Each structure stands twice: as C-alpha cells, then as structure tokens.
Structure 1
Amino acid sequence: MKFKLKPVGDYDVDIKIDACGVCGSDVHTVTGGWGKQNFPLCVGHEIVGHAVRVGPKVTLVKQGQRVGVGAQVYSCGDCKQCREDNETYCQTHCTNTVAPMLCAGLTAYSPLVRHGAGKGKKVGIVGIGGIGHFGIMFAKALGAETWAISRSRAKEAEARKLGADGFIATAEEGWEAEHRCTFDLIVNCANSSSGFDLAKYLSLMDVHGRWISVGLPEEEGQVIKAQNLVSNGVLIGASHLGSRRETLDMLKLAADNGLEGWVEELKLGQDGLQEAILRMKKGDVRYRFTMTGYDEVFSQ
C-alpha cells in the first residue's frame, strides 16, 4: 500500500520508529471484535523512536531526541477537560475511533493514582494480561497492598514476581467469602466478560470502595441488580488512558523502581504480525508483544 506523506507542519514531529507494542485494541480492531473493520487499516499506537523532523513551533521535542507516542493523538488544549489534565476526555477531538484505543501502562497507572492507590490501601487487579501485569507493578510501587485476581492459579507465580502480595483464583468454590468488604480499589483489566459474576466481585469492595473498569471485552456487558450495590455502597466507574502529566509521572515511577514491562520481541513483517495477532487472540503472550526491526523493513 502506498500513500502520500503530509508535509511537516508547525506543530508536527516526524518520528523514525524503533519499536511498537501490540495492544489488545489492535486485535479487537483488525478482527472486527469491536465492530466492522474499515479497510485499509493501520494499527499500532505504542511507539518508541527518534524525532527526525520537528516543526518550528514545537517546544517539547528536539530533533534527535528519543521519544514515545501513545494512543492519544489529538486534543484541543483549550476546553475544560484539557485545562485540567484530562485531555483524553477532550470533547472537541475525542471520537469513537480514538476512544477505544488503549495503551497498556498508562491505562493501568491512571486509575490507580486517580483513585488513591498507595500506603494503607488494599488494591486488586482483575485480569493478569498486558494491562493487568502493569497494574500489579504500579500498585505495588505506589505502596498499596496488591492482590492479583485471575480465574485460575496458572499465573500466580508470575503475579507474585510482578509484586502481588496475594492472589485470588475465581474458579475456586467460595473464592469471594474471606475477602468480602476488604478492598479499597479494584481495577478491572479483564478482556473477557464470559462467565463473569460481577456481583461477587463487587462484594469484595469496602464501604464506598471503587470498582474501575479499563478492559473493553467484545461480549455483552454484565447485568447487576441494585441490591448488589447497597450492602457496601460500592462506586462503579471506568477510566480511559491517562494524561500527558500522568505519563511523565508513570515513567518516573518506573525508572525510580526499576520497573520494566514483560515483553516478547517479534520481527516486523507479515509473519511476525500474524503471529502476534493470533497468539494474542488466544491469550498466548507474557505479557506484551513488541514489534522490532523497522530499519530492516523500511530501508529496503
């Protein structure tokens, strides 16, 4: 496929890509899980590279610098949301095509800091995948008592290596009983809602505890009765990406604590991309794929 490049504008940065992560939203998009695909598609929004050209009015990036790009690419900068470091909720540029995009680390970090994860708090991470494994690391680094919550114990050893203090396997009978009304915050990173008994999960929350969802499964949503909410006054919400300020804070937290995502590198190309999509669809990844070898492909 060929296309004409736009000229570099006053506020544009042209990036030579070194590596690009494969996000769950890429899989949902190319397979049609979130709706009909509009081909041709070009997915990929977890990018690290070097700035090779910088517009004359750009102030935050200099030519030659190593830079990163996440899913958020547009915001007006002037509305109430943008002025309050909530540019991912910008009402001027936030569209349905941008909204579903997720960038794993920031998607996990933002709800943790916005909802008080830290010392003296008990935090749960549901779904130990690409987003969830970052959630465990960040919750622990922020000082919270951190619990991993998954269907089986297959990932327990890895969750504890990531920093989990405890582990709950929801396939076990009566799994919720001893943990009722004990969690201050749970971030739901699960990528599937099949067999998901939301009432049992909500029973884990302390009075006015917060259940925040960041995963976007393809299946129908869960049904919940009002009676399941009144016993602990649980607050239910969601989170979308995070702000630029939170991105910088997240990277500092990772650097200060020596945190690195668990990734498997694959070579860019038809074979590598096909392997990434098929294995992610099956959940066969620990815990993110990163496509590399851009020079080999694009220097030809």
Structure 2
Amino acid sequence: MTTKAFAAQSATTPLGPIDIERRAAGPHDVQIDILFCGVCHSDLHTARSEWDGTQFPCVPGHEIVGRVSAVGDHVAAFAVGEIVGVGCMVDSCQHCPSCGEGLEQYCTGGGFVGTYNGPTPDAPGHTLGGYSQRIVVSDKFVLKIGHDEKDLAAVAPLLCAGITTYSPLKHWGAGPGKKVGIVGIGGLGHMGVKIAHALGAHVVAFTTSESKKQAALELGADEVVNSRNEDEMAAHAGSFDFILNTVAASHNLDPFTALLKRDGTLTLVGVPEHPHPSPAVFPLVFGRKAIAGSLIGGIAETQEMLDFCAEKGIVADIEMIRMDEIDTAYDRMLKGDVKYRFVIDTATLG
C-alpha cells in the first residue's frame, strides 16, 4: 500500500516527502491511520546519523497515535475505529527470558525491532516510522489509548517520553514517603516531574536555569534546585531515595550522587553524545549507592503507564507543528527552544 511519508535521504539533507510501501495487514497485524506523531531527540540523532547505523531513506517517529483502519483475521484485541498507540518497538524475539517477563525492550534474542531503522523483511529492509500517514504493526505491539480524543496530540509523547520516565520511577519505588529528584526539565524531564508527582513522591526538580523554576513548580515539583548553585545543592546532601537524570549532555554525576541517601540510586535515561566523566567511587562505596540506567518499558508496562496517565489526566506539554516544519523543529530542539515536546499533525502530510 503506497503511503505518504517524510524521510531523510542522507545525514546532511533536509527531510522531505517520499512515497513508501506498507504491507497489507497480515493475520496478526493492525493497520493504523496515524493522527499525530511526537518528535523525539532520537529522531534527530538517527536522521542526522549521529548514532552509528542509520539506514536511508530514514522515516523517523516512534510516538504514534492513530485510528485502527484494518485488522488481521486473528486479531481480537483491537477493532476498526479504535484509537491506539505505537511506541519505540514493533517486534522482539518473543521467546528470550526478557520477552517472557514482558520486558521486550531488553530482548536478548537479537534485540527489539525499533519502530524505525530496525530490521524487517518489508521493503526497503528496515522499518519506517511514524512520520507517515499509516503504519502496520503486530497486534502484540499496539497499545490502547484511554484519553479523551481532544487530548490525543498531547498523548503521543507518552509513547516514549512518558514510558521512559514512568518505568524507572516505578522500578525504583517512587511513591508516598519517597524523595525523588528529576534532573533536567525538557521533553523527558517534564514528564518525569508530572508522573513522580502523580505517584505521590516528594518531587525536587533540578535545572541550570533560574527561568525554569516557576515552570517546574507548575508541572508538579514540590521544590526546585539550581544545580549550579552549590549552597542549594548542599542543602539536599544525603537526602534522596532516587534521582532520575534525563539530561542528554555529558556532565559530572558526582554532585548528584552526593545527594543520595545510603542505598539511593541515580538512574540515567538521557544518552549523551560523549560519555559522562568517570564518577568518583568513594561516595558510592561508602553509601552503597548506585548509578543505573533504564530503557523505555515493556509493552505491558507501557499500557499500564497509559492507563495511569489517562486516570490522572496526565499528558505532555506540546507544540503542534506541520510536517514540513520538522527541520526547523530539530534545530529548535538543539537549542532547547520547545516546551516541551513537538508533535506533528500528520494531516499536513496530505
């Protein structure tokens, strides 16, 4: 099926219109007419080949919300007309220990298949993402959306930014009685503040910008700390159960490990272009502290996150763009000039 899309043809050329072919819905497939697609920093890294392995043409986009337009004969969980979502994965081996535990993002049977730039038998040999009019996905990787239809554009970023923050917050027990820090108030960080607040934790937002303090409070932070202010940082020494670091730029982690309680954890979800400086070991050893990482979430947990956010009325703060504004949006993302996530209205592809 011929589908209009927007693609990068090389690392150095602007994205532009392209016709792509989508497979017909097989017995276990769901065909989705895409309504909105969020714009993730990973899209930019991949389209501009800043990470190794980009295959061209590259159609990014893994924060997808749309309407089911066809289902395979063996699909029982979804019906034509339903509003659904697709996140960062469209397949995995389905038989390794991680997949068996609903942790497909950690698939060891060859790794999960990304919504774009992943291996597929479909032409052109790699997956093509949500900067397109429609997509066909295995029913195992399709998610139900329970939000009101008026909020669907702002739901799209939950499929990546939402689950990337929800999963570690849940895994490390953020909730009532826990003091939780969120480092960085951007696409990921603003979702982290909202979700940690809704989970009942005492939330402290860390920013390097005084101008973001009021915004962080409005997002749900109980306190805001300027991480460049040594006195403000020292006032919180040894007091955090958990800190979620969303910053995707290389920086010194030691000021944040100093804020952890004994047995506290600093978890990284931002992936910098260059490695962080090696952390000091003594503070970790003498406090049994941990530095950890976390990657999106499995399908079951992503559905749990969507249901939680629908119940709590949580969506992303977004700026809607036309498809042909994507390169400008990428440039603005690099400058931090968005509050807090761009979302493409895919009707503009027509």
TM-score (structure 2 length as normaliser): 0.79
Q: Distance in 1 between the 2:288 and 2:115 partners?
A: 33
Q: Distance in 2 between the 1:98 and 1:62 partners?
A: 21
Write the mapping of 1:116-155 to structure 2, written as runs, cut at 5 A: 116-155=173-212
Q: 1:186 aligns with which of 237, 243, 264?
A: 243
Farther off after superposition, 240-249 or 11-20? 240-249
Write the mapping of 1:1-300 to structure 2, written as runs, cut at 5 A: 1-35=18-52, 37-94=54-111, 103-193=160-250, 196-269=251-324, 272-292=325-345, 294-298=346-350
Q: Distance in 1 between the 2:249 and 2:66 partners?
A: 32
Spell out, residue by residue over 1:221-280, the C-alpha distance to the aligned partner (whole angstroms, 9 max, x if none): 3211322312311112111111222222212222222222100001122xx112211111
> Number of residue pairs matched?
293
Q: Distance in 1 between the 2:237 and 2:348 partners?
A: 54
Residue pair 1:118, 1:143 contacting (<8 A) in 2 also:
yes
Q: Distance in 1 between the 2:90 and 2:277 partners?
A: 31
SS in 1 for 2:79: coil
Residue pair 1:127, 1:191 contacting (<8 A) in 2 also:
no
Spell out, residue by residue over 1:59-83, the C-alpha distance to the aligned partner (whole angstroms, 9 max, x if none): 3211111111100211232221122
Q: CA deviation at 1:176?
A: 2.4
Q: Distance in 2 between the 1:233 and 1:127 partners?
A: 25
Residue identity opposite 2:98 in structure 1: Q
Q: Distance in 2 between the 1:40 and 1:189 partners?
A: 29
Residue identity opposite 1:268 in structure 2: M
Residue pair 1:22, 1:290 contacting (<8 A) in 2 also:
yes
Q: Distance in 1 between the 2:348 and 2:191 partners?
A: 30
Farther off after superposition, 90-99 or 13-22? 90-99
Q: Distance in 2 between the 1:228 and 1:186 partners?
A: 15
Q: CA deviation at 1:96?
A: 8.8
Q: Distance in 2 between the 1:124 and 1:113 partners?
A: 14
Q: CA deviation at 1:202?
A: 0.4
Spell out, residue by residue over 1:14-38, the C-alpha distance to the aligned partner (whole angstroms, 9 max, x if none): 1100000000111111223323643
Q: How high is the sequence identity, in percent, across the aligned residues?
A: 39
Q: Distance in 2 between the 1:97 and 1:62 partners?
A: 24
SS in 1 for 2:203: strand
Residue pair 2:203, 2:223 contacting (<8 A) in 1 also:
yes
Spell out, residue by residue over 1:262-300, the C-alpha distance to the aligned partner (whole angstroms, 9 max, x if none): 00001122xx112211111111000000000x33423xx
TM-score (structure 1 length as normaliser): 0.92
SS in 1 for 2:44: helix
Q: CA deviation at 1:175?
A: 3.7
Q: Mind listing any 5+ residue stretches in structure 1 that lack a counterpart?
A: none
Mark the CA change 1:42 to 1:99 in structure 2 (over 3 Å): closer, same or farther: closer
SS in 2 for 1:123: strand
Q: Mind listing any 5+ residue stretches in structure 2 that lack a counterpart?
A: 1-17, 119-158
Q: Distance in 1 between the 2:210 and 2:76 partners?
A: 48
- Give the RMSD, CA atoms, in angstroms: 2.0
Spell out, residue by residue over 1:97-140, the C-alpha distance to the aligned partner (whole angstroms, 9 max, x if none): 67999811100000000110000000000111001100000000
Mark the CA change 1:99 to 1:264 in structure 2 (over 3 Å): closer, same or farther: closer
Mark the CA change 1:36 to 1:6 in structure 2 (over 3 Å): closer, same or farther: closer
Q: Distance in 2 between the 1:36 and 1:113 partners?
A: 32
Residue pair 2:178, 2:241 contacting (<8 A) in 1 also:
yes
